Amino acid sequence: MTEPATGPAAAPITFVGGKGGVGKTTLAAAHALALADAGHRVLVVSTDPAHSLGDALEAPLKDEPVQVAPNLWAAEPDADAAVRRRIAQVAEDARKAVPREVLPAVRRHLEQAGASPGMAESALADLLVDRMEEVGRRWDALVVDSAPTGHLLRLLNLPTLLTPWIVGLTRQRERARRAEAFADVVGDSAEEDDPLTERLHARRHRLERAAERLRRDAVVRLVTLPRRMVLAETARAVEQLTGAGFRLAPVVVNQIPPEAAAGPDTAEALAATRERFAALGTVEVPLQDAEPTGPDRLRSLAALLVPR
């Protein structure tokens, strides 16, 4: 049975994920607020391209963390800006490392790569790794409002998936450098620093550390609804995440209507959800009378998520 994590000591990094529309952003904000109210320095970050974390906190957010409550900071990273920064850095490395006549082709390739959807997802992963590396120094806990389940799975697996690719690129680059050295009678090129190789090595080591830390220090809290269709998707996510070696917190069943107002379909789905996730455990959150936005309303949910 997976041990539930209730604070930074058990899980310094918490991902809150689930199918779109289940209320994960609200619950991520409430979870982060509960930890902050307990005296921990907390950063809550949105990796969902359709940012709504600022709406939940009723605070204007930006790329860099801003304080929104005592002990609580929040950020909505700008993936497009991160892509532009990455392309600029690669272009600068290429300018130092490749022949001048090749640079126009490199620039065209980078422009095309920057427009691909995978580049934004990878850039968000890089930003997330930056924040993870700050946990233990700048923050006691990091709470991640994740994109819907499919994106969350790719995001969590990205460090592991990219590492072999970077190793391959590094080997190709090193072979090319050795060939250049043999071709150069003087041999000066073998003695020059190669920023591309150095950056590939650094990125590989960084991703390896991130993959290790995700499995050691992170817990995933999935949010579902008392509906059969949502239950099915959540069950698939549980299987995929546990199969990949991630720890799971009890599943949050959100927006449960009062018993008198719940129809037979809802009651059956709730019973099936409790049974399906009995080993993990469930946390049940009742349907709120009003939209739970802003610190005061979020605190009504926070006590359910992080026991004091």
92-101, 123-132, 188-197, 237-246 — most confident range: 237-246
30-39 pLDDT per residue, tens: 999 999 999 9
- At residue 127, the pLDDT reads 85
Confidence band, pLDDT 50/70/90 cuts, at residue 22 = very high
Give the mean model confidence (pLDDT) for residues 49-65: 90
Domains parsed from the chain with CATH numbers: 13-85+112-305 (3.40.50.300)
- At residue 288, the pLDDT reads 87
**Contacts of range 34-39, beta carbons closer than 8 Å, 24 or more positions apart:** 34/299, 34/302, 34/303, 34/305, 34/306, 35/7, 35/8, 35/140, 35/141, 35/143, 35/306, 36/69, 36/70, 36/71, 36/72, 37/70, 37/71, 37/299, 37/302, 38/7, 38/306, 38/308, 39/71
121-171 pLDDT per residue, tens: 777 778 888 899 999 999 999 999 987 777 777 767 766 766 676 666 667
Mean pLDDT for all residues in the chain: 80
